[in-house]
Amino acid sequence: MAFFKGKELYSMDSKGRVNIPAKMRKSVSPEANDTFTVTRGLDGCIEAYPLDTWRIKEEHFEKLNQYNAQNRFFLRKILMWSEEVTLDSQWRVMLPKKLLEFAGIDGKVVIAGVGDHIEFWEPEKYEEYMAGTEETYEDIAAKVMYVG
Amino acid sequence: MAFFKGKELYSMDSKGRVNIPAKMRKSVSPEANDTFTVTRGLDGCIEAYPLDTWRIKEEHFEKLNQYNAQNRFFLRKILMWSEEVTLDSQWRVMLPKKLLEFAGIDGKVVIAGVGDHIEFWEPEKYEEYMAGTEETYEDIAAKVMYVG
DNA sequence: GTAAAAGTGGGTAAAAGTGGGTAAAGATGT
DNA sequence: ACATCTTTACCCACTTTTACCCACTTTTAC
């Protein structure tokens, strides 16, 4: 399974194409078939999952009972933002307009690898988010990384 | 099995034809034979199932004991709304009048992929439905997207 | 220093979305 | 059963968007 890391500042061209950084390409397995599912991410970003990783989520969704009103609502809410995109020969993707609008991405993009997926951020929003806590990196690391 | 996702705003022409978005076409298997079964959906929408998926539902219906009053009622109720539609050469379907009337669809249509089926919504009704919760996207994603 | 790879940009043909004309098929009334 | 009206299927046409190809500049690797 792919594991993405790193953070880059790239640019989106006039046609809405964004390059996937070479470092991250190498984490994508051939099973992904040059395809990502992009969807609305958390905290205002766009998330992209390689096809093979997304399939696991789909299997999870398929098991939900749609005759339960809450499940139905959740599914609709999640899937309305999800779309498949394929890479062109230069390893670029065309991000859907509604997602670009949601994320406020326009010219420059921060591309970040976050484990099982890649995130696209509007650069300022990214900085704000990263600045948005009083806790130090050390404090947070202590909480998250602690292995009892 | 097909897995539909994505949400698009399309228009229905004066003849009542609605295009199936290209992204969703790709999820349809050849076994569906360019045919969908459309039926009354939940929460005021119209649902369309590819033929091969609908067959599975039919098998389920066949197993129901018709001498049980509740089963009988359910069967009559769902089947009265169900109808097969075939795609024309431009991948459009003609939705039955009674379903359009039921869903209040007139000019513009929201087309949403929800796993095993496609949904058609009157745009305003769709927005209302989607707005109907206090929970944030992040809350919902936490419940649904997390795959342990 | 040089060659290869990575990042960026643009032209063009194909596909997608939308609309309409017309003839066949089906329904309706006498 | 027939004429009439309505509905549907099958064309064709136009505009916008997308996919594919080629090209150039910058960075990286050896």
Q: Which residues from chain B sit within 8 angstroms of residue A66, using beta carbons? A: 42, 114-115
C1’ C14 / CA B22, Å: 14
- Both tokens assigned to A119: 């995130």
- When pLDDT is cut at 50, 70 and 90, the band that residue B148 belongs to is low
Question: CA-to-CA distance for B52 and B37, rounded, in angstroms?
Answer: 10
pLDDT of residue A133: 79
Q: A1 vs B33, which has greater pLDDT?
A: B33
A83 Cβ contacts chain D strand, under 7 Å:
no
**A9 in B contact zone (CB under 8 Å):** no
Tell me the mean pLDDT in the region B86-92: 93
Question: Contact, A33 vs A140, CB < 8 A?
Answer: no
Q: Which residues of A touch B140 (CB under 8 A)?
A: 73-74, 77-78
Q: To the nearest whole number, what is the mean pLDDT of chain A?
A: 94
Could you tell me how many residues make up chain B? 148
What chain A holds in terms of domains, given with CATH numbers, is 7-145 (3.40.1550.20)
The CA distance from A141 to the nearest CA of chain B, in Å, is: 22
pLDDT tens-place string over residues B90-133: 999 999 999 999 999 988 999 999 999 999 999 999 999 999 88
- From chain B, pick out residues whose CB is under 8 angstroms from the CB of A52: none
Residue B143: pLDDT above 90? no
| Integer Cα distance of A53 and A117 in angstroms | 8
Residues 10-49 of A with CB under 7 A from strand D: 15-16
Give residue B71's pLDDT: 93
Distance CA B92, CA B120 (A): 13
d(CA B144, CA A63): 11
Dmax over CA atoms of chain A, in Å, equals 50
pLDDT, average across residues B75-102: 93
pLDDT (tens place) for every residue of chain A, 148 residues total: 789 999 999 999 999 999 999 999 999 999 999 999 999 999 999 999 999 999 999 999 999 999 999 999 999 999 999 999 999 999 999 999 999 999 999 999 999 999 999 999 999 999 999 998 788 989 999 999 987 7
Contact yes or no for A60/A53 (Cβ under 8 A): no
> How much is the pTM?
0.93
Distances (CA, A) of B8 to B22, B23, B68, B98, B129: 11, 10, 41, 23, 16
